[in-house]
Amino acid sequence: MFSKTTRRLADHNYLMAIDAGTGSCRAVIFDSMGNQLSFSQREWAHKQLKGFPSSQVFDTTNNWRLISECVRESIRSAELDPHAVKAVSSTSMREGMVLYDEAGKEIWACPNVDSRAASEARYLIKTGKARRIFSLAGDWISITAPARFLWIRKHEPNVFREIKHIGMLSDWILYRLSGEFVTDPSAGSSSGMFDLKSRDWSKEIMGICDLESHIFPKVTQPGTIVGKVTRKASLETGLLEETPVVVGGADTQLGLVGLGVTKPGQVTLLGGSFWQLTMLLDKAVIDPKIRLRTLCHAVQNEWMIEGIGFYCGLTMRWFRDAFCELEKQEAKRKGVDPYTLIEKEASVVPPGANGVFGIFSNIMNSKRWAHASPAFMQFDITDPAHSGKKECIRAIEEAAAFVVMGHLNILQSLSRGKVREITFAGGGAKGYLWPQIISDVLNVKVRTPVVKESTSHGAAICAGIGAGLYNDLETAGREFVRFEDTFEPKRANHEKYVSLYEKWLRLYGEVMKISDAGLLNPLWKAAGA
């Protein structure tokens, strides 16, 4: 029996977004005006396949259970009658993919950073096929599908023969809900199997991978109804059977939609598990030096080029879980986010973290995307009050900002323009210290939106288009985005960060040499790097 409040909510229009991220899954409900009504999250991890270093497996059975829990919890916490959910859409990390047999059973799946196909990537590089794929698809073969398909053909030939459907992870959510196979240009292009100019699957790249075209799903625009929630999915998730299931897209691109970023030239930083600094394009511009990558935007006839800060958000999560148990307990007592308390500690530390440097993500270089062994450097053990945990927190945030600075420099060189303002969203934008550090390091104005979960908001906009509540991605995104804070760069801090950035670059290079020598394990190394 629904409460009086719940029955009242049943008369309104609500939209659900399901998001499969690198470090967690989420189910978020929005009203038709773009206000977030509820949020549910489950953290997850991806296990290594025994005998294959650098592999990561996406557990479709367990992860669907976690997603279903999120959906049920989000509906329950909103006190929502499922009839009020007018449509559901999906988004996910890019590059991760799922393979199915003829009966539609998942037979192979991996998340974005699975890197088991190192020898296959080296083969593609040696034969020149990697460069050809990059010229068509805009992404290197490190964590995309071409090398993975060659790996499967070699190591799991029975799986390779059984492949009858493929899809990306956001497509997998749609399939689990509706039983239909589709993709969209933003998620599909992250496979490395696309022709960017045509915004469709590349038959030439299919040939390189020895694959038939019929296993690839139809490319459909975000906002298109693909089907309805099946009885099975309804029982699993609590969504009403027959609820429209709507095509969404890739996390970064839908994050831009949720922020109203739909015009070429706009620059955005999305700070989740990974950090993406993006610039929108009106044509498929591909970095001639093969550093950054280009993908299709969710908006028709637009593309985006991006630099990825590897594990920037997950680094802070690691530090939280490894060193901040007291803060987590206090946050639970106070009913606040533990990151709020963690940032408060670091806020008293001056720029430069009292000499402590963080070595984590590297600046993106697609041809050789390798990251040094993670480290904090230059503690002053004679002064623990000014060289300890709070300095480490600030050093993590400054290291992420230095990576953003490196990517911004590349974007500005490609566009031949000066960026003066960026929008910052995602989990990293929830505090007040990290946005200010980014503003100071980059010497640009930084705006943060009211709804930080912009990726989920973008997926909800797709659901709203399918439900007939909005006309298109562009106008819906611009209409509902509202900004909460603006951070102006502090001149004195920026001047200090200019020299600190140069020192960080040199330090990173030296630690990378030690990692390359095999004395330390890298944070992560792309296949073929």
Cβ atoms of residues 511 and 372 within 8 Å: yes
The pLDDT tens digits of the residues spanning 154-187 come to 999 999 999 999 999 999 999 999 999 999 999 9
pLDDT digits (tens, 9 = 90+) for 289-311: 999 999 999 999 999 999 999 99
Query: What pTM, to 2 d.p., does this model score?
Result: 0.89
Proportion of the chain above pLDDT 70, given as a percent: 98
- DSSP letters for 197-218: TTTEE-HHHHHHTT--GGGSPE
Mean pLDDT of 361-372: 94
* CB-count burial class (<10 Å; 0-12, 13-18, 19+) for 252: buried
Q: From 409, 427, 423, select the one nearest 312 (Cα to Cα).
A: 427
User: By C-alpha distance, which of 154, 11, 91 is closest to 455?
Assistant: 91
| CA dihedral for 257, 111, 452, 433, sign (positive or negative) | negative
Report the alpha-carbon distance of residue 524 to residue 46 in Å, rounded. Answer: 14
Query: What confidence category does residue 326 fall into, taking pLDDT thresholds of 50, 70 and 90?
Result: very high
Output the six-digit token pair for 332.
């639970």
For residue 181, what is the DSSP state? -
State residue 270's pLDDT score: 92
> What Å distances lie between residue 74 and 17, 20, 87, 123, 405, CA to CA?
10, 15, 14, 46, 37
pLDDT band with cut points at 50, 70 and 90 for residue 453 = confident
pLDDT tens, position by position, 500-517 = 999 999 999 999 999 999
Residue partners of 250: CB distance under 8 A and separation at least 6: 91, 92, 93, 94, 168, 170, 184, 186, 187, 189, 190, 295, 298
pLDDT digits (tens, 9 = 90+) for 234-243: 999 999 999 9
Instruction: Give the pLDDT band of residue 11 (cuts 50, 70, 90).
Output: low
In this model, does residue 481 exceed pLDDT 90? no
385 DSSP assignment: G
Higher pLDDT pick, 162 / 368? 162
| Token pair 């460069």 in the structure block, residue | 131
> 380, exposed or middle or buried, with CB in 10 Å at 0-12, 13-18, 19+?
middle
The pair of structure tokens assigned to 49 is: 């396949």
Q: Between 263 and 17, whose confidence is greater? A: 17
Q: What pLDDT score does 147 carry?
A: 97
Q: Quick check: 1 pLDDT over 50?
A: no
Give the list of residues 6+ apart from residue 163 with CB closer than 8 angstroms, or none: 99, 100, 101, 107, 108, 211, 215
For every residue of 350-361, DSSP letters joined together read PTTGGG-EEE-P
The answer to whether residues 112 and 94 touch, using CB atoms and an 8 Å cutoff, is: yes
For tokens 């990576």, the residue is 403
pLDDT confidence of residue 9: 53
**To which residue do tokens 């709507």 refer?**
246
User: What value does the mean pLDDT take over residues 432-449?
Assistant: 97
pLDDT tens digits, one per residue of 193-210: 999 999 999 999 999 999
The pLDDT score that the predictor gives to residue 5 is 46
Considering the chain, what percentage of its residues have pLDDT values greater than 90?
89
Euclidean distance between the first and the last CA atom of the chain, given in angstroms as a whole number? 58
d(CA 242, CA 493): 55
pLDDT band at 527 (very low <50, low <70, confident <90, very high): confident
Per DSSP, 240 falls in state: P
The whole-chain average pLDDT of the chain stands at 94
DSSP-assigned states of every residue in 12-62: S-EEEEEEE-SSEEEEEEEETTS-EEEEEEEE---PPPTT-TT-----HHH
148, 154 in Cβ contact below 8 A?
no
Can you say whether the dihedral through the CA atoms of 178, 183, 186, 190 is positive or negative? positive
Question: Tell me, what's the pLDDT at 526?
Answer: 85
Residue 150 token pair: 């060659």
Sign of the alpha-carbon torsion through 313, 344, 259, 441: negative
Q: What is the mean pLDDT of residues 457-468?
A: 96
Beta-carbon contacts of 391 under 8 Å, excluding residues fewer than 6 positions away, are: 346, 349, 353, 354, 355, 356, 379
pLDDT reported for residue 478: 84
The answer to whether 7 and 435 are in contact (CB under 8 A) is no
pLDDT at 8 over 90: no
pLDDT at 395 over 80: yes
Does the structure show a pLDDT above 60 at 429?
yes
**What's the token pair of residue 478?**
């611009």
pLDDT tens-place string over residues 121-137: 999 999 999 999 999 99
User: What average pLDDT score do residues 333-349 get?
Assistant: 96
